[in-house]
């Protein structure tokens, strides 16, 4: 793999027999209306723990991330280790530690690790699939418990299998019962080929945070009131009018980036498990004529990196940025539904 391919993946990103006799209460959900039957046999209290863990549980651990993806039609593999520390109050430190695959020069590896550290929030909050809303998750996914308690890193864990609608990917999760932290996950495509995995190599739920350097976002971020959007942003934002089945608007935010001081409307949508993001940076000045492109031309670049599809550029004379797990057709539909 080239450095360019590795860094491209970093830029995109744009997380799971040892049976014991301990038993846990299990509930079964009924199929939802609308023809999307979602039956599950999981502990709903543990489900809510998963949702709450990132902001309400303190832990630290070194973990290994593995991804198999495609860049310019060529299959690639990325494996690296990172250390995550949280304080139980929403603060976190994510330190990339060691790039294992591919083998790069010392300088190239340092550049990759630096690029990851600068995207700590993206990696912590969005990279790995996880339960983001318990009830929405149950409406859109089926989750089945293996039926016992398994041991991972000497801790009692539940082992779940999560599936979506139709011919979707599947996820296996190993969830720490005490904290709700997903200690291991594996994602497989419909052909059962491994897409991605994260596994903790060690885990401490009473971490020493004295020397932690908590992440501080360089962005200015605040909630966006859609009824006051013009006043908050200086323009009326656009957002997708057509959404994938099961998705809903989770949050709207005003974001100001420090480089060119552009103000964005950022819309995050969720189906309880996955997310996609659509950002509108408002009207753009006419671009300079370059490489035969008309001053009035829209230039929207689409890229595929792993399971993420990205759109970035100018569309309908607006600055647009969008990222979705899925296919390019879905991403184009979302962008077009926002603009036209």
Angle between helix 3-12 and helix 106-117 axes, rounded to 10 deg: 10
Is the pLDDT at 53 greater than 70, yes or no?
Answer: yes
pLDDT of residue 16: 22
Ordered DSSP codes for 205-235: SS---TT------SSEEEE--GGGHHHHHSS
Check for a shared fold between 3-200 and 220-339: no
pLDDT of residue 294: 52
pLDDT of residue 55: 97
Mean local confidence (pLDDT), 255-270: 93
Is the pLDDT at 76 greater than 60, yes or no?
Answer: yes
CATH architecture of 220-339: 2-Layer Sandwich (3.30)
pLDDT of residue 297: 65
329: CB partners within 8 A, 6+ apart: none
| Positive/negative CA dihedral, 213, 12, 300, 282 | negative
Query: Span 3-200: which CATH code?
Result: 2.50.20
pLDDT of residue 34: 38
Q: Could you state, in order of their start, the residue ranges of all structural domains in the chain?
A: 3-200, 220-339
Nearest-angstrom CA–CA distance, 207 and 224: 35
23-34 confidence digits (pLDDT tens) = 333 333 333 333
136-189 confidence digits (pLDDT tens) = 999 999 999 999 999 999 999 999 999 998 778 999 999 999 999 999 999 999
Nearest-angstrom CA–CA distance, 149 and 157: 6
Which of 91-105, 118-132, 289-303 shows the lowest mean pLDDT across its residues?
289-303
């Amino acid at each position: 793999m080239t450095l360019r391919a590795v860094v491209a993946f970093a830029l995109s990103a744009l997380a799971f027999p040892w049976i014991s006799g301990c038993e846990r209460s299990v509930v079964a959900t009924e199929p939802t209306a609308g023809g999307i039957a979602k039956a599950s046999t999981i502990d709903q209290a543990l489900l809510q723990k998963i949702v709450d863990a990132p902001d309400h549980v303190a832990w630290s651990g070194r973990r290994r991330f593995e991804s198999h993806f495609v860049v310019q039609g060529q299959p690639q593999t990325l494996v690296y280790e990172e250390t995550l520390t949280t304080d139980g109050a929403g603060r976190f430190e994510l330190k990339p530690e060691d790039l294992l695959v591919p083998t790069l020069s010392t300088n190239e590896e340092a550049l990759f690790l630096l690029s990851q550290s600068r995207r700590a929030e993206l990696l912590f909050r969005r990279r790995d699939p996880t339960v983001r809303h318990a009830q929405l998750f149950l409406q859109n996914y089926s989750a089945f418990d293996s039926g016992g308690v398994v041991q991972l890193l000497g801790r009692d864990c539940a082992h779940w299998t999560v599936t979506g609608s139709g011919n979707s990917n599947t996820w296996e999760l190993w969830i720490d019962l005490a904290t709700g932290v997903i200690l291991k996950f594996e994602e497989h495509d419909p052909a059962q080929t491994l897409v991605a995995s994260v596994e903790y190599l060690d885990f401490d739920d009473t971490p020493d945070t004295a020397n932690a350097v908590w992440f501080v976002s360089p962005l200015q971020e605040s909630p966006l009131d859609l009824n006051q959007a013009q006043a908050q942003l200086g323009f009326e934002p656009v957002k997708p009018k057509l959404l994938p089945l099961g998705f809903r608007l989770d949050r709207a935010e005003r974001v100001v980036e420090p480089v060119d001081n552009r103000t964005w409307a950022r819309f995050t949508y969720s189906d309880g498990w996955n997310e996609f993001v659509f950002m509108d940076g408002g009207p753009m000045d006419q671009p300079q004529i370059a490489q035969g492109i008309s001053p009035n031309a829209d230039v929207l670049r689409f890229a595929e990196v792993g399971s993420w599809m990205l759109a970035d550029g100018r569309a309908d004379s607006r600055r647009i940025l969008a990222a979705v797990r899925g296919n390019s057709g879905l991403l184009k539909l979302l962008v077009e539904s926002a603009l036209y």
